[in-house]
Amino acid sequence: MITVGHLINGENRADAARTQDVFNPATGLATKQVALASKETVEEAIAAAQAAFPAWRNTPVGKRAAVMFRFKALLEQNSDKICQMIGEEHGKISHDAAGELQRGIENVEYACGVAELLKGEHSKNVGPNIDSWSEFQPLGVVTGITPFNFPAMVPLWMYPMAIACGNTFVLKPSERDPTATLFIAQLLLEAGLPAGVMNVVNGDKEAVDVLLTDVRVKAVSFVGSTAIAEYIYTTANANGKRCQALGGAKNHAIVMPDADMDNAVNQLLGAAFGSSGERCMALSVAVAVGDDAADALVAKMSAAMQSLKVGVATESSNDFGPVITRQHQQKVVGYIDSAEADGCKIVVDGRHPQIAGYEEGFFVGATLIDGVTASMVSYKEEIFGPVLQVVRVNTMDEAMQLINDHEYGNGTCIFTRDGEAARYFSDNIQVGMVGINVPLPVPVSYHSFGGWKRSLFGDLHAYGPDAVRFYTKRKTITQRWPSSGVREGVSFAFPS
Is the Cβ–Cβ distance between 313 and 24 less than 8 Å? no
In 10 A of CB 139, how many CB atoms? 21
Q: Active-site residue numbers?
A: 280
In 10 A of CB 471, how many CB atoms? 26
Q: Which helix (H) or strand (E) holds 76?
A: helix 61-77
Relative to beta strand 367-370, strand 387-393 is parallel
Nearest to 71 by CA among 193, 213, 203, 226: 193
Nearest to 410 by CA among 459, 460, 451: 451
Q: Count Cβ atoms within 10 A of the Cβ of residue 77 and give its class: 0-12 exposed, 13-18 middle, 19 or more buried.
A: exposed
Calculated CA dihedral for residues 411, 416, 417, 422, nearest 10 degrees: -50
Is the Cβ–Cβ distance between 35 and 7 less than 8 Å? no
Nearest to 168 by CA among 148, 146, 147, 188: 188
Give me the DSSP letters along 101-170: HHHHHHHHHHHHTHHHHT--EEEEEEETTEEEEEEEEE-SEEEEE--SS-TTHHHHHHHHHHHHTT-EEE
One-letter amino acid of 342: D
Would the CA dihedral through 63, 99, 174, 455 be positive or negative?
Answer: positive
